[in-house]
Structure 1
Amino acid sequence: MRKYILLNFDVEEFDAPLKYGEKIKPSVQFDISLMGLRNILSLLEHLKIRATFFVTANFALHHPELIEAIARTHEIASHGFYHSKFSPEDLWKSKQVLEEISGQTVSGFRMGEQQIINEQAILASGYQYHSSFNSNYYQGKRRTVHYCDHLLNLPISVTPFVRFPLFGLSFKNLPFPLIQFASQITLDSDRYLNLNFHPWEFTDISKFKLPNSVKRLSGIHLLNRLEKYLIWLKKQAEFSTISDWINRIKHQKYDILG
């Protein structure tokens, strides 16, 4: 049975320093994310990999031509209207803006900062799936993909049993062989990996007041590690956008959506 890699990125304003008391101009926030995003897009084009981009409407409004270009190859999903604040109407407002700019139907949503959000509100806003939490943090949540009142929930991948998270912080702070091992056992168990990164991690963020765990590996060094990881993953499974994968498992005899 086929296995799949659901590679995805949160395209947002680089507001991480604000949490640690460092002021950063909006223009700098956009520039940092933009530089990292361009690095990511070049790598994906080189490796011929399609991905899903969860984009804030605010970022899309500042860079509409780039989002339109990304949409020609990749999936565009919603990351809310702004990254640093949220109101319930942002669900449908961000969807509308992103659809107008990308020319795609936006079917996926991810809440910023893995905040808890009313799933019925997501469904009522016209989304088919959301991928808003890491089940390592929310131990009461199911670890793998599942339906809840007609809305597909797709948690960020964690390993079976111990729920070791497979996301940006783990990827940049742990030995590469350990990341490979954790990825392999999760892929063997679940038949998919939902892998999440932030484009701003792939530019130099060493000068900002951030925890060492966040900034210790960034820019070209992290990009090189990601390239090595993706080349290895291509030997293990098939890459897919999230929407394409959902449509595939719906129409095939998978028990993955139990």
Structure 2
Amino acid sequence: MVLLSFDIEEFDMPLEYKGAIPFDRQISISQTGLETILDILKKHHVKATFFSTVVFAENSKPLISRLLKEGHELASHTWFHSQFEEKHLQESREKLEEMFSTPVTGLRMPRMMPVSPQAVEKAGYAYNSSVNPTFLPGRYNNLKVPRTYFKEGNVTQVPASVTPNFRIPLFWLSFHNFPLKLYKKLALDVLKHDQYLNIYFHPWEFAEIKDEEFKLPGFTVKNTGNEMVERFDDFIGWLKDKKYNFGTFQEFQKNRQ
């Protein structure tokens, strides 16, 4: 099974690099990208999971309603993208459920930041996908974390996919910076070895973000915008041709119970 997921959030990444971007543009860029993503998924008849901050959801209700209507899953990306308190775990889940009348059973922490497993369980989540089980200098070292899904108390942890050998991460940066032919080979290796692939992206990757004011490093903006749309469309079509099934995290967890 292919687990496609998207962290839908206010596009505040320029602030990490001392760039400038007003809040309304943070939201509009992510909205534009999300609309593009939904169009591609609809074209290929595949389902995905969307981890949303409450801030983005409150400003994007028609798009959230659309993704739910089209059969996708809504999960929590906490309340804010760049601010976090432990109380936001439960509050964000309940707020998303209240706004959209849908069960919210999954969590992904912004920037895959660590979080207490006990707090996640207490907040009412059934699964958590907040670990990239690899080493990224300056970000995290998770080489001792299991590569594939495992239990933390009563919560299922579903790490992002990395290759069986050397734990090469297959997250969004790899998709942008690896030759697409190589990325496909690595994805195929994971699917054959693990029987599933868990990869994640962001809506702003599908929008035009090569703005000098953002001060983003070249590796973060490579193959974004129209290039990303073309690469992603090609990749999804390739997986479909190979007869792989796509599903939501809720479906994945149900199948393994």
Aligned to 1:253: none
Aligned to 1:176: 180
Aligned to 1:76: 74
The one of 239, 243, 246 equivalent to 1:233 is 239
Q: What secondary structure is seen at the aligned counterpart in 2 of 1:98?
A: helix
CA-to-partner distance for each residue in 1:74-109, whole Å, 9 max, x for gaps? 000000000011001100111011111222110000
Q: Which runs of 5+ in 2 are unaligned?
A: 136-141
Aligned to 1:47: 44
Q: 1: CA distance between counterparts of 2:164 and 2:35?
A: 34
CA-to-partner distance for each residue in 1:110-161, whole Å, 9 max, x for gaps? 0001111101101100000000010013111111001121110000000002
1:215 paired with 2:221, answer yes
Aligned to 2:209: 205
Aligned to 2:120: 122
Q: What secondary structure is seen at the aligned counterpart in 2 of 1:9?
A: strand
Q: How do 1:57-72 and structure 2 match up within 5 A?
A: 57-72=54-69
**Aligned letter for 2:19?**
E
The one of 9, 13, 33 equivalent to 2:10 is 13
Aligned to 2:138: none
1:24 paired with 2:21, answer yes
Aligned to 2:88: 90
Q: 2: CA distance between counterparts of 1:31 and 1:15?
A: 12
Q: 2: CA distance between counterparts of 1:102 and 1:168?
A: 28
Q: 1: CA distance between counterparts of 2:18 and 2:226?
A: 26
CA-to-partner distance for each residue in 1:168-225, whole Å, 9 max, x for gaps? 1000111111101100111000000001001100001111310100012111111110
Aligned to 1:255: none
**Aligned letter for 1:186?**
V
**Aligned letter for 2:253?**
I
Q: 2: CA distance between counterparts of 1:63 and 1:224?
A: 25
Offset at 1:232? 0.9
1:76·1:102 contact (CA, 8 Å) conserved in 2?
A: no
1:139 paired with 2:143, answer yes
Q: 2: CA distance between counterparts of 1:11 and 1:188?
A: 29
Q: What secondary structure is seen at the aligned counterpart in 1 of 2:134?
A: coil
CA-based RMSD of the aligned residues comes to 0.9
Q: 2: CA distance between counterparts of 1:154 and 1:148?
A: 10
Identity rate, percent: 38
Q: 2: CA distance between counterparts of 1:25 and 1:31?
A: 10
TM-score (norm 2): 0.94
The one of 176, 188, 193 equivalent to 1:189 is 193
**Aligned letter for 1:190?**
D
Aligned to 1:256: none
Q: Which runs of 5+ in 1 are unaligned?
A: 251-258
TM-score (norm 1): 0.94
Q: 2: CA distance between counterparts of 1:240 and 1:124?
A: 26
2:35·2:63 contact (CA, 8 Å) conserved in 1?
A: no
Using the TM superposition, name which of 183-192 and 92-101 deviates more.
92-101
Offset at 1:69? 2.0
**Aligned letter for 2:143?**
Q
